[in-house]
């Protein structure tokens, strides 16, 4: 957390506010370990004076495209957020990076747990990042056939496999739980046990849950805010995530919680049987078709 929907909303809200602006200075950088590349002296030399051409996203990375071929890639990890602030707003102790803009405003990278990471990438570095990641689940290249191929022969349980960014880019714990419930697939089923029909349902469920979360401006559980400092509301629409002991909205069975690969996993034991066979049909999503509209804003792979 944040996951694909949250980073997508952050990127959109940043783009609307800072496109065309110039980074005039690195005003604050008090957690040097957040910078993975280049070294700090090079960062201080290269970043000031760069014009922001756009803000976008790849997987869970926010990408601020700069002039001269540079890209500032920021991973929010567990507790990070990027917010544009007025000149008179002072950063608190959890704001570890402040980029001053030529109009007096500033970009704050607030990260309470200090897990966030920053990279200033040249074109080769950006390409390497892109190639390390799986397909974008809302992109046109992500089809049911592609998903089937990526799951084929994998003995890994489906839930942790969905979290592997080299398999599918951008999915995290929240939306993997939600997608599996929508598709009626138990989180502990081996990926190789999924039939083509299972993969089709899962593909549709992944796209539906991500699309819905973007429509609701992401999920705010603790720290997440968009580039204006506003909360998301998708946490009000969860089907299973963080709902252990509550009734399944589809069948009334109590939602269960287990731990898989050190992550909390939520599922309905009735709607998501552990053995393969007849599965619950996915929930119809009235907004699923709108995922096509997001493709223009989402980089395919």
Name beta bridge partners: 259: 264
From CA 1, how far away is CA 223, in angstroms rounded? 9
Which residues fall within 8 angstroms of residue 198, CB to CB, at 6 or more apart?
Answer: 183, 185, 276, 279
Which residues fall within 8 angstroms of residue 93, CB to CB, at 6 or more apart?
Answer: none
The closest of 124, 96, 123 to 112, measured between CA atoms, is 96
pLDDT in tens, 17-43: 999 999 999 999 999 999 999 999 999
pLDDT in tens, 135-185: 999 999 999 999 999 999 999 999 999 999 999 999 999 999 999 999 999
From CA 136, how far away is CA 140, in angstroms rounded? 8
pLDDT in tens, 210-229: 999 999 999 998 889 999 99
Q: Are strands 35-37 and 117-121 parallel, antiparallel or unpaired?
A: parallel
Q: Which of 12, 50, 58, 60 is flagged as catalytic?
A: 60
Question: Which tokens go with 105?
Answer: 């405003």
- The rounded Cα 169 to chain-centroid distance in angstroms is 8
- Strand, helix or coil for residue 174: helix
pLDDT at 222: 83
pLDDT at 276: 63
> Domains in the chain, start-ordered, CATH in brackets?
4-131 (3.20.190.10), 144-297 (1.10.8.50)
pLDDT above 90 for 230: yes
Are the C-beta atoms of 209 and 4 separated by less than 8 Å? no
In this structure, what DSSP letter does residue 192 have? G
From CA 30, how far away is CA 94, in angstroms rounded? 10
Q: In the annotation, is 3 catalytic?
A: yes
Q: Which of 154, 257, 263, 297 is flagged as catalytic?
A: 263
Q: Which helix (H) or strand (E) holds 293?
A: helix 291-294
Q: In the annotation, is 90 catalytic?
A: no
More confident residue, 291 or 82: 82
From CA 61, how far away is CA 128, in angstroms rounded? 13
Burial 52-68 (b: 16+ CB within 10 A, else e): beebbbbbbbbbbbbee
pLDDT in tens, 105-131: 999 999 999 999 999 999 999 999 999
Q: Which of 3, 6, 8, 178 is flagged as catalytic?
A: 3
Q: Which residue has the tokens 């609701």?
A: 216
Q: Which residue has the tokens 């607030």?
A: 110
pLDDT in tens, 237-288: 999 999 999 999 999 999 999 998 889 999 999 999 987 654 445 444 444 4
What are the CA-CA distances from residue 57 to residues 21, 74, 160, 170 (Å)? 18, 9, 23, 10
């Amino acid at each position: 957390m944040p996951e694909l929907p949250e980073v997508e909303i952050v990127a959109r809200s940043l783009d609307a506010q800072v496109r065309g602006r110039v980074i005039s200075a690195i005003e604050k950088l008090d957690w040097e370990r957040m910078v993975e590349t280049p070294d700090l002296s090079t960062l201080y030399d290269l970043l000031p004076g760069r014009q922001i051409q756009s803000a976008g996203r790849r997987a869970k990375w926010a990408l601020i495209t700069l002039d001269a071929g540079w890209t500032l890639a920021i991973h929010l990890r567990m507790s990070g957020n990027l917010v544009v602030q007025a000149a008179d707003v002072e950063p608190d102790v959890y704001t570890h990076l402040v980029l001053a803009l030529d109009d007096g405003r500033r970009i704050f990278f607030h990260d309470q747990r200090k897990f966030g990471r920053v990279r200033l990438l040249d074109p080769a570095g950006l390409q390497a990042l892109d190639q390390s990641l799986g397909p974008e689940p809302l992109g046109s290249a992500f089809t049911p056939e592609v998903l089937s191929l990526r799951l084929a022969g994998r003995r890994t349980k489906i839930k942790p496999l969905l979290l592997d960014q080299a398999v599918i880019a951008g999915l995290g714990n929240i939306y993997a739980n939600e997608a599996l419930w929508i598709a009626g697939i138990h989180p502990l089923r081996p990926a190789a046990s999924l039939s083509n029909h299972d993969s089709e349902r899962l593909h549709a469920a992944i796209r539906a849950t991500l699309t819905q979360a973007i429509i609701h401006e992401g999920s705010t559980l603790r720290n997440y805010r968009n580039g204006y400092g506003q909360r998301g509301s998708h946490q009000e629409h969860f089907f299973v995530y963080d709902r252990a002991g509550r009734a399944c909205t589809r069948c009334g069975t109590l939602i269960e919680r287990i731990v898989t690969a050190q992550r909390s996993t939520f599922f309905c034991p009735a709607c998501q049987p552990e053995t393969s066979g007849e599965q619950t049909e996915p929930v119809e999503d009235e907004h699923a078709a709108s995922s096509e509209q997001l493709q223009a804003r989402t980089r395919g792979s």
